[in-house]
């Protein structure tokens, strides 16, 4: 009434059918540099997929490739949402914003695995497992902002968010456990990954100084994840590597950090901007995460600084800009556990339970921090018909990676980490860096026809 209350409400509906069409992996078997008695094969045997000890006949003159992982999946997701949001204005200084959302999600999932060199159906040519479930949740958001002056505003906010549960599919289990399955594989029912909830608390301020020439903002936040969903390696004897990547419940995670940004108009033509941010986290149970590092990780720290200078000329305007960014290091894997880290942990039920995640320590890799500087010059004539720019990216020709992946012994040892015996026991890794672009020059031209 009289502009003191703003109110909005609505309803949402979402439906999606997603599928992974039938596909399989074709590979050569037995060509590793390392023999592995647990799964057969000889060093540099180059047997092209056949292996008598694994039940893949080698008789005859024809050699063939192995076909594994022959499967297809289907999932239907339906979501309903009802939301309402209101802002109450207490005079000109204080605003209270309250929001609520009621959600209901449904999922139907099925997975079919076909006969292949690492799967024998109990009946017929394939085995299907399926599951369905639904989840409901109430999310909220509350914010109070207080305009101390016309140029300085304090705010505090608290919110709750919800992500529906999902399913993960355990690997097939041979009916007669052992190095070789000679009967059939049983498929356990899909495992439920519980819903994820996030509580977020945030406080900060927004400010302008010196008649708007200086803008300075700061934020501090704390996030509490309950049953965080994340990708993690789980043991699977039916796969070539001895494990597979599943979406699992990684337990509770606390995340906190800060962000600061500023802009200063030194003169009417020269402007400087900067920003910095830091984040940290703590996991309640690193054991189910297969390591002490959160994946995907938050950005540990990042700093940026840029300047812009405008030079007006009789025929048009030049704009010179220079930017600098420093990006902190980033972990690329949960990390496994070193012996020292294992000694300080109490979350493994038995010493045997710690063996599997410990072998991933050679997949641990941290992308180093890097610095980037970019330069650009732009010209725009007074009539606005066209613009031209000259740019130099990565001015210092920095050699850097913005992501990477370390392939540890699980990728090189037939049968995965549990099969790391003898010559296969030694840690090893191959690092794949996703390199950023080197120094790059360029010219752009834009013409406005209308």
Domain ranges of the chain: 73-447
| pLDDT at residue 49, rounded to an integer | 52
- Give the C-alpha distances (Å, rounded to integers) separating 186 from 108, 109, 131, 299: 21, 18, 16, 42
pLDDT for 70-89, tens place per residue? 999 999 999 999 999 999 99
| pLDDT at residue 50, rounded to an integer | 54
Question: CATH homologous superfamily of domain 73-447?
Answer: TonB-dependent receptor, beta-barrel domain (2.40.170.20)
Predicted confidence band of residue 44 (pLDDT cuts 50, 70, 90): very low
CB burial string 219-255: b at 16+ within 10 A, e below: bebebbbebbbbebbbbbbbbbbbbbebebbbbebeb
| pLDDT at residue 178, rounded to an integer | 66
Distance, CA of 73 to CA of 69 (rounded, Å): 12
The mean-pLDDT minimum among 160-164, 246-250, 320-324 falls in 246-250
* Three-class SS state of 340: helix
pLDDT for 359-393, tens place per residue? 788 888 999 999 999 999 999 999 989 999 999 99
Find which of 35-49, 362-376, 424-438 is predicted with most confidence, using mean pLDDT. Answer: 362-376
Asked whether the predicted pLDDT for residue 58 surpasses 80, the reply is no
Give mean pLDDT, residues 262-270: 96
Asked whether the predicted pLDDT for residue 64 surpasses 70, the reply is no
| pLDDT at residue 48, rounded to an integer | 43
Average pLDDT, the chain: 87
Q: Which residues contact 66 (CB under 8 A, 6 or more apart)?
A: 26, 27, 28, 29, 49, 56, 117, 118
Farthest CA pair distance, the chain: 90
Predicted confidence band of residue 167 (pLDDT cuts 50, 70, 90): very high
Question: Taking the complete model, does pTM exceed 0.85, yes or no?
Answer: no
Measured in whole angstroms, the distance separating CA 287 from the mean position of its chain's CA atoms is 19
pLDDT for 314-338, tens place per residue? 999 999 999 999 999 999 888 888 8
CB burial string 256-277: b at 16+ within 10 A, e below: bbebbbbbbbeeeeebebebbb
Rg value, the chain, Cα: 29
Distance, CA of 317 to CA of 272 (rounded, Å): 19
């Amino acid at each position: 009434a009289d502009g003191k209350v703003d109110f909005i409400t609505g309803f949402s509906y979402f439906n999606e059918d997603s599928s992974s069409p039938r596909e399989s992996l074709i590979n050569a078997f037995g060509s590793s540099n390392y023999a592995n008695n647990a799964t057969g094969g000889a060093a540099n045997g180059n047997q092209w997929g056949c292996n008598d000890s694994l039940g893949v006949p080698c008789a005859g003159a024809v050699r063939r490739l192995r076909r594994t992982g022959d499967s297809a999946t289907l999932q239907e997701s339906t979501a309903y949402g009802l939301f309402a949001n209101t802002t109450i204005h207490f005079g000109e200084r204080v605003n209270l914003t309250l929001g609520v959302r009621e959600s209901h999600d449904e999922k139907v999932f099925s997975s079919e695995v076909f006969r292949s060199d690492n799967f024998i159906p109990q009946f017929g040519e394939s085995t299907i497992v399926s599951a369905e479930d639904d989840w409901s949740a109430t999310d909220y958001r509350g914010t109070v902002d207080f305009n101390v002056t016309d140029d300085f505003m304090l705010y505090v906010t608290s919110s709750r968010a919800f992500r529906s549960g999902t399913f993960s599919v355990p690997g097939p289990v041979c009916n007669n456990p052992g190095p070789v399955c000679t009967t059939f594989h049983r498929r356990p029912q899909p495992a439920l990954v519980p819903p994820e909830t996030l509580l977020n608390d945030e406080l900060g301020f927004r400010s302008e100084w010196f008649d708007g020439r200086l803008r300075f903002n700061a934020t501090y936040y704390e996030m509490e994840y309950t049953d965080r969903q994340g990708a993690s390696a789980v043991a699977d004897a039916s796969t070539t590597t001895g494990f597979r990547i599943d979406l699992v419940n990684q337990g509770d995670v606390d995340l906190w950090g800060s962000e600061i940004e500023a802009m200063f108009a030194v003169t009417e033509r020269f402007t400087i901007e900067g920003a910095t941010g830091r984040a940290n986290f703590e996991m309640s149970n690193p054991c189910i995460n297969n390591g002490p590092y959160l994946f995907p990780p938050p950005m540990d720290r990042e700093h940026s600084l840029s300047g812009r200078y405008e030079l007006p000329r009789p025929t048009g305007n030049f704009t010179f800009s220079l930017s600098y960014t420093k990006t902190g290091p980033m972990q690329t894997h949960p990390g496994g556990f070193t012996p020292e880290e294992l000694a300080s942990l109490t979350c493994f039920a038995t010493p045997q339970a710690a063996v599997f995640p410990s072998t991933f320590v050679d997949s641990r890799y941290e992308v180093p921090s890097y610095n980037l500087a970019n330069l650009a010059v732009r010209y725009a004539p007074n009539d606005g018909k066209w613009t031209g720019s000259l740019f130099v990216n990565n001015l210092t020709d920095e050699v850097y990676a913005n992501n990477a992946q370390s392939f540890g012994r699980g990728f090189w040892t037939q049968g995965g980490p549990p099969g790391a015996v003898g010559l296969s026991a030694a840690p090893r890794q191959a690092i794949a860096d996703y390199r950023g672009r080197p120094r790059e020059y360029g010219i752009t031209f834009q013409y406005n026809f209308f």
